[in-house]
Structure 1
Amino acid sequence: MYRPQEDSYLLAAALADAGGTKGAKVLDFCTGTGFLAVNAAQLGAASVTAFDIAPRAVLSARVNAWSRGLPIRARRGGLEEAVRHGPFDVVLSNPPYVPCEGETRDPRWDAGTDGRCVLDPLCDSLPDLLAPGGFALIVHSEFTGVDATLSRLRDVDLKASVVARSRIPFGPVLRSRAEYLYSSQLAEPGTLTEEVVVVRADSPRVRS
């Protein structure tokens, strides 16, 4: 499963800064260990539903919720299942977003040749996942295409902006994917840092 790293902490900080969690119905999609679900519950969410496709991740999220006595329901499933449990006031996601050569090699972080095989369907599903006036916070790398995410969210009538940024050194995963990033022109040759961003998407209070 994906354990909390710099991107998770950046997203957790953005959630704390955003407010609006107290009393909210929250979704943590691609929950991993349940780190973000725990953060949301500790910030006063009325309920938190955590989804992941990996059985070990679901088990970990359940244990982390139970050990803290928090109102978190961890379930195994993808976007279709998450939509059936919505809509939500707040949607959080740290999805797999690392570009990789060929087919996805490790589903914990690899996400196809452009890093968007999970991100694009998530963006497209947000109008169904979000309640009117709700918001989503999604974290991913600059190499995944920040402008592409903003455009895709705006195309489905959501207000979208970058609300947090952090530049960090390549970790073991990106170092192992560096040659692909260079050869595919997703990163300048020799680049050894990435900017991680949190994108916020807001649903209108009244939908047309």
Structure 2
Amino acid sequence: MTTAVAPPVGLGRLWTLPGVYAPQADTHLLARALHAEGLTADMDVLDVCTGSGALALLAARSGARVLAVDISLRAVMTARMNAARAGHRVRVLRGDLTGPVAAQRFDLVMSNPPYVPAPGARRSRSHGPEVAWDAGLCGRRALDRICDHAPGLLRPKGVLLLVHSGLCGVEETRDRLTANGLRCTVTTRAAVPFGPVMTRRLPWLRAQGLIGAGEDTEELVVVRAERS
């Protein structure tokens, strides 16, 4: 169903270095989905593209063992600082998506990856604020890789929680996860006003046919996939 984005569940106030993605509507939506999973202290959790570490800290409050990854050095520093300030043990690694943890298995994997479509001339970077949102011409540069790698990261009955924009193709995400052997559902849909990045990019997005002339909101979705 489509719903308004309620205030985040237990995210609290966080410190962020300049250029690090601060919690926004997508973070809050994924936080609600994470809360609904009912994490326990015997679970291993992975946060891919952790940014400020907000979701990793939320998982750590349940007592779960949490590992977080981000390609941005500033994000890694921010997440480590927020974990230290909150008094939670969160291991934060620098790396490209799931690369640093490819040999490990988790009970829950969550991700708020870059998903904003970007002109083809923009190259993938490991620094600068754009690394938190630019995701290639179709917005799926990170999404597709996460969908493909998720089955190998999950234990039996393990769950993937993934948030992204409807602009990137919700059915494509569902189809890709299903093809990779996961049971997949869209648990939440929310319409939110365009943020600063989307607003700046509106002329290009409209020229690509991704957003209609009269549209002024973006749909966010949380996709839940479970391994048999």
- Fold match (TM-score > 0.5): yes
Tell me which of 63, 69, 72 is aligned to 2:81: 63
Q: Is 2:95 aligned against 1:77?
A: yes
Aligned length: 202
Cα distance, 1:20–1:42 mapped onto 2, change above 3 Å: closer
Cα distance, 1:156–1:188 mapped onto 2, change above 3 Å: same
Q: Is 2:145 aligned against 1:121?
A: yes
Long gaps (5+) in structure 2? 1-19, 124-129
> What residue in structure 1 maps to residue 45 of structure 2?
26
CA distance in 1, matches of 2:199, 2:93: 32
1:148-167 counterparts in 2 under 5 A? 148-167=172-191
Long gaps (5+) in structure 1? none
Shift of 1:191: 1.2
1:12-51 counterparts in 2 under 5 A? 12-45=31-64, 47-51=65-69
CA distance in 2, matches of 1:57, 1:183: 32
Q: Is 2:135 aligned against 1:111?
A: yes
Q: Is 2:218 aligned against 1:200?
A: no
Residues 21, 90 of structure 1: 8 Å contact kept? no
Provide TM-score, normalisation by structure 1.
Answer: 0.93
Cα distance, 1:8–1:75 mapped onto 2, change above 3 Å: same
Aligned CA-pair RMSD: 1.2
Deviations 1:160-188 (A, max 9, x none): 11111211000110011112221212222
Residue 62 of structure 2 aligns with an amino acid whose one-letter code is: L
Deviates more, 1:27-36 or 1:95-104: 95-104
Cα distance, 1:48–1:128 mapped onto 2, change above 3 Å: same
Shift of 1:68: 1.5
Deviations 1:122-163 (A, max 9, x none): 100001111111001010001011011000000101011111
Q: Runs of 4 or more off by more than 3 Å in structure 1?
A: none
Residue 30 of structure 1 aligns with an amino acid whose one-letter code is: C
Cα distance, 1:184–1:31 mapped onto 2, change above 3 Å: same
Deviates more, 1:139-148 or 1:98-107: 98-107
Provide TM-score, normalisation by structure 2.
Answer: 0.85
% identical equivalent positions: 47
